[in-house]
A and B are shown apart, each in its own frame.
Chain A
Amino acid sequence: MMSVTTSQAVQRESWDGDTPASGRLLQPGLDVTHGQILYLDDISVSFDGFRALNRLSLSIGVGELRCIIGPNGAGKTTMMDVITGKTRADSGSAFFGQTINLAQHSEAEIAQLGIGRKFQKPTVFEAMTVQENLELALAGPRSVWASLRARLTGQQRDRIDELLTLIRLGEQRARQAGLLSHGQKQWLEIGMLLAQQPQLLLLDEPVAGMTDAETEKTAELLLTLKGRHSLMVVEHDMDFIASIAGKVTVLAEGAVLAEGTLAQVQADERVIEVYLGR
């Protein structure tokens, strides 16, 4: 199949929140002919006989911001593990664009293909400074040889400055990441994702442990990313979801239970049941 670049694919020169349309949405080579960036089809995963994912099918559109909700243990994190190559599906398939079969790639390759992931428990390199964390994440060659010769270019410095402003950690740039607050670590991790310039971002509970003000800022940030990137956001915080959501998917017992606007799914009998019935 030929790869097709859609009209939304604009090479990004600069990064600022005011011009959402200038994002580099697509890397050459990713085929999104049908407007979908991620397809999960009939995926099952079992842990010692327990079905964490049960014939899950889901797809995410290009530039979409999709929220995933569901009770604890519904399989949300496991789904992200499958997409990013951490866990292998027992059956079913996961495609990035029309042509890239994710099952054939390692974690590092999938990240290089353009899928970034934020962990449920914020994970940054604690012994390094905030700036060094971003430097490591910056898109670029990943070989040992390149790392031995790496020097920051002026362009990369500018990019780091932009990211620091975006994640509101400019003042903390020289601070050791381990000393940041929980919310700041969440932001740093989001900044690291953006530094990778992924096309698809998977965010596992990005506002857990944040203050209300921080949560609000995060919602603003995600809304500016929408359109330039495709996003999948797992959250339990319904107010936060309400502030960002277009489409919401409800997972329960490893499968999609309902899909629609937040109001629609909240009115759905079965959804109410899984939330109240546990």
Chain B
Amino acid sequence: MQTALSLRLAHRIGPLPLKLAGAAILALLLAMPALHVWTDPASSLHVSAYTLTLVGKILCYAIVALAMDLVWGYTGLLSLGHGLFFALGGYGMGMYLMRAIGHDGNYQSELPDFMVFLDWKTLPWFWQGSEHLAWALCLAVGVPGLLALVFGWLAFRSRIKGVYFSIMTQALTYAAMLLFFRNETGFGGNNGFTDFKRILGYGIAAPGTRATLFLLTVLLLVAALAAGFWLVNSKFGRILTAIRDAESRLMFCGYNPLYYKLFIWVASAMLCGLAGALYVPQVGIINPGEMSPANSIEIAIWVAVGGRGSLIGPVLGAGFINAAKSWFTVAFPEYWLFFLGGLFIATTLFLPRGLLGLLRRHKEKA
């Protein structure tokens, strides 16, 4: 029994070469911040702030892709609004970062610059407490979670499914974007938040700060993968795939899909919120553009290209597409969207299981 279990585990984690590749990538990711801090900028081993930020950003996207895959790949709920949860997490963290600027803003006021500009005299109520990082993190996780809970409850209880569900999530993020574009909403309008100075007293652009944020992101990704692995291999995970494949059969087995959907949907939104909270201090900006419908669609494309219904697939997809994007937007900026669209169509037609499916097929042939 014991051996059977460990065999099964080994089988699920993947064949040896894949495991080795995973370990190598993890070692490389852990080495990057060290190389950024401790090597001479002139040295060929040095990892530049640009590279570190770029990879850190992609890791945040990878976490979002993983969260997306839990609801789409495993549960069959295609969300086209996951960018909203990510952005809300970013805004939560952004509130703290804005407060941490203190008197060093352009107007040297206690209030964030955009509020001075709007001629506001006091902080709105929802900004209370945002000078504490811990509270800002609670907001970054809790607000996406709460929104997902309310939205999910209404949608799943009314048994809204398939394309209707997708359209509703898309409408939700669009509506939120319009709301955040307004100056009166109290989040800096279309400029959003930027010009951060420090976090917990450390300079936001200091090598040590960058390295720490990067490490935290790697940790979150690893933790999310581990939690995801445990979840999808539990009975709960099997119920999720049952919802995806034959929801009515599951209901007639006595399960109420509502609570299962709600649980994974809210957990996924909260994970996106955390990823957003790590993203904003690394890239130094958050604005309503992050809530644009196109962003959320892109998240779905990362997952589809990487391979949905697996844990590694979406991480691969987010990594591959965003690496390609950063190269394209320098080399041929005008062709990026064509490339992305083409890639999406090609995977849909030829690689239903995404890049991961391709890797596995290659492995099976060998």
Cβ-closest chain A residue relative to B244: A127
* Residue in B231, B246, B255 whose CB lies within 8 Å of A123: B246
**A148 / chain B contacts, CB cutoff of 8 Å:** 231, 234-236
Given A126-B245, A127-B241: A147 touches B254 (CB 8 Å cut-off): no
Tell me which of A71-79, A90-98, A131-139, A267-275 binds B: A131-139
Whether B253 sits at the interface, judged by CB under 8 Å, is yes
B263 and A144 form a contact (CB under 8 A): yes
Whether A4 sits at the interface, judged by CB under 8 Å, is no
Given A108-B251, A128-B241, A147-B234: A142 touches B256 (CB 8 Å cut-off): yes
The answer for the CA separation of A112 and B256 in the assembled complex, in Å, is 10
Whether A143 sits at the interface, judged by CB under 8 Å, is yes
Cβ-closest chain B residue relative to A151: B235
B256 and A125 form a contact (CB under 8 A): no
A144 and B253 form a contact (CB under 8 A): no
Give min CB distance, A48 to chain B, whole Å.
20
Given A147-B235, A147-B239: A84 touches B245 (CB 8 Å cut-off): no
Q: Which residues in window 104-143 of A have CB below 8 A to B?
A: 106-109, 111-112, 116-117, 119, 123-128, 132, 135-137, 142-143
Whether B329 sits at the interface, judged by CB under 8 Å, is no
**B249 / chain A contacts, CB cutoff of 8 Å:** 119, 123-125
Q: Which residues in window 34-51 of B have CB below 8 A to A?
A: none
Q: Most A CB atoms within 10 A — which of B249, B254, B260?
A: B254
* Residue in A116, A128, A147, A150 whose CB lies within 8 Å of B252: A116
The answer for the CA separation of A127 and B75 in the assembled complex, in Å, is 12
**A126 / chain B contacts, CB cutoff of 8 Å:** 245-246
B259 and A86 form a contact (CB under 8 A): no
**B138 / chain A contacts, CB cutoff of 8 Å:** none
**B236 / chain A contacts, CB cutoff of 8 Å:** 144, 147-148, 150
Q: Most B CB atoms within 10 A — which of A86, A137, A196?
A: A137
The answer for the CA separation of A142 and B238 in the assembled complex, in Å, is 13
Whether B326 sits at the interface, judged by CB under 8 Å, is no
Q: Which residues in window 143-172 of A have CB below 8 A to B?
A: 143-144, 147-148, 150
Known pairs A107-B248, A108-B255, A136-B253 / 15 extra A-B pairs, C-beta < 8 Å: A106-B256, A107-B252, A108-B256, A109-B254, A117-B252, A119-B252, A125-B245, A125-B246, A126-B246, A128-B241, A136-B255, A147-B239, A148-B231, A192-B253, A196-B253
**Which 7 pairs between the two chains have the least Cβ-Cβ distance?**
A111-B254, A150-B235, A107-B251, A108-B256, A147-B236, A112-B254, A123-B249
